[in-house]
A and B are shown apart, each in its own frame.
Chain A
């Protein structure tokens, strides 16, 4: 059972991802809708999420910048991108993301990634 933080500007996606994660036996500890909010909420959490599922193209602050900032504050943060913009994969990995999943992804790929990166 893994605690997940979802960062994506698409509100409906939060709902469906949370539902899928719950079916997979996981739970959502926090939601954020842009990169700046993600940093703010990540820092404020008493218990840090086991994994952050991060979008890239968001208002206010993008996912790559937010990842860099979160890892600066907590180098043990596990951040995996779920983005429709695969052109930023190299950039995301270079700032410290552990994985990059290109939308649309199947639930199996999501669960596999959670299993792979959280256990690592």
Chain B
């Protein structure tokens, strides 16, 4: 008997000590019980409670839906993930989420009991964050769009100058430099825009053939350096591996290839792309190995760091590697950089990506790994 009493006291202290809102509603809508947190959050007193019905504390838009829920709970069902807006005594609103379940006495359901957590502040923060992201995306998109148009005009004007037969030869170099700076600026603007888009929305992924994506990215990177030639070798076959990704995956490989093309001073830039299934895991290891100057150990850690402006200025790709990391993060993939030849960074870099993949079996059916 004493043990039962102690247990009851323990339950009562838990109910009273929690910050969750607990109430028990009788079939006529009156309150059988509410806990301390309920009274404090909604500002009602025990005295108010005697006159109060559940409809009095529900925000009008939630009344019908909540009454239906209570009715089902009183018939014996349990409802989880219930979200409702309650009205405080002062007229403010509190958003709560939780569950409702029937309270039984012997075989009879006597009340609907609800456990709720006040998520008003969290919801407000989420809404503010979403608004801020939307505003940010809108402004960046507007700026990027107009800057690209302005860049197009300046680029075209410089090209017209360059194509003019009257241009003094000593000015040609200056114009060419102007053109490449303009393209660098455009690349930076494009990358900022993409990063903003990725932050604002969850990726809309589909199965993409890895070989196809890599080939397209390599063609673009090769085209960006008319004085160099990209020699890409890969063990990946067309259709061999599909990954869940979106159009930004091409940017990942383009940025990595572009980086190698930029820093490798040789006219023929060799890059090897190797893939390997990591057994007993859902991941495919993709290694992108170049023969450029490599990345010293001290800089390996910060190479993808979003806030490492110094590093970005060294890389000079205008947030290219930040974009790489942002895109891969959005897929739940990973990237790190190693030496192509262990312990000798000067022999080139090895970017290692781990991505979830799908492999086609012999019948051509795709199997999820």
Using a CB–CB cutoff of 8 Å, the interface residues on chain A facing chain B are 10, 12-13, 16-17, 19-20, 23, 57, 84-87, 90, 102-107
Interface of B is mostly: helix
Asked whether A104 and B186 contact (CB < 8 A) given A13-B149, A13-B153, the answer is yes
Asked whether A103 and B159 contact (CB < 8 A) given A57-B145, A84-B144, A85-B145, the answer is no
List 20 A-B pairs, Cβ < 8 Å. Answer: A10-B149, A10-B153, A13-B156, A16-B160, A17-B156, A57-B145, A84-B148, A84-B149, A86-B190, A90-B247, A102-B190, A104-B152, A104-B155, A104-B182, A104-B186, A105-B152, A106-B155, A106-B179, A107-B156, A107-B163
Q: Which residues of the partner chain A approach B160 to less than 8 Å between Cβ atoms?
A: 16, 19-20, 23
Indicate if B183 sits at the interface (CB-CB under 8 A).
yes
Give the size of the chain B interface in residues (CB under 8 angstroms): 21
Indicate if B151 sits at the interface (CB-CB under 8 A).
yes
Number of A-B contacts (CB under 8 A): 53
Asked whether A103 and B163 contact (CB < 8 A) given A17-B156, A20-B156, the answer is no
Indicate if B197 sits at the interface (CB-CB under 8 A).
yes
Indicate if B157 sits at the interface (CB-CB under 8 A).
yes
Bound: A20/B163 CA distance, A: 9
Whole-angstrom distance from the CB of B163 to the nearest CB of chain A? 5
Bound: A23/B157 CA distance, A: 12
> Would B159 and A20 count as touching, CB distance under 8 A?
yes
Q: Which residues of the partner chain A approach B247 to less than 8 Å between Cβ atoms?
A: 90
Nearest chain-B residue to A86 (Cβ)?
A: B190
Beyond A85-B145, A103-B151, 5 additional contacts (C-beta under 8 Å) are: A10-B149, A13-B152, A17-B156, A86-B190, A104-B156
Q: Which residues of the partner chain B approach A85 to less than 8 Å between Cβ atoms?
A: 145
Q: Which of B144-190 contact A (CB under 8 A)?
A: 144-146, 148-149, 151-153, 155-157, 159-160, 163, 179, 182-183, 186, 190
Whole-angstrom distance from the CB of B190 to the nearest CB of chain A? 8
Bound: A10/B146 CA distance, A: 10
Bound: A19/B148 CA distance, A: 19
> Would A103 and B157 count as touching, CB distance under 8 A?
no
Q: Which residues of the partner chain A approach B183 to less than 8 Å between Cβ atoms?
A: 104
Asked whether A16 and B153 contact (CB < 8 A) given A23-B163, A107-B159, the answer is yes
Bound: A87/B159 CA distance, A: 27
Whole-angstrom distance from the CB of B148 to the nearest CB of chain A? 3
> Would B197 and A12 count as touching, CB distance under 8 A?
no
Q: Which residues of the partner chain A approach B182 to less than 8 Å between Cβ atoms?
A: 104
Q: Which residues of the partner chain A approach B148 to less than 8 Å between Cβ atoms?
A: 84, 102-104
Q: Which residues of the partner chain A approach B144 to less than 8 Å between Cβ atoms?
A: 84
Q: Which of B126-146 contact A (CB under 8 A)?
A: 144-146
Whole-angstrom distance from the CB of A110 to the nearest CB of chain B? 9
Bound: A57/B151 CA distance, A: 16
Q: Which residues of the partner chain A approach B156 to less than 8 Å between Cβ atoms?
A: 13, 16-17, 19-20, 104, 107
Instruction: State the 10 A-B residue pairs at the shortest beta-carbon distance, nearest first.
Output: A84-B148, A16-B156, A104-B152, A104-B151, A103-B152, A103-B148, A104-B155, A84-B145, A107-B159, A23-B163
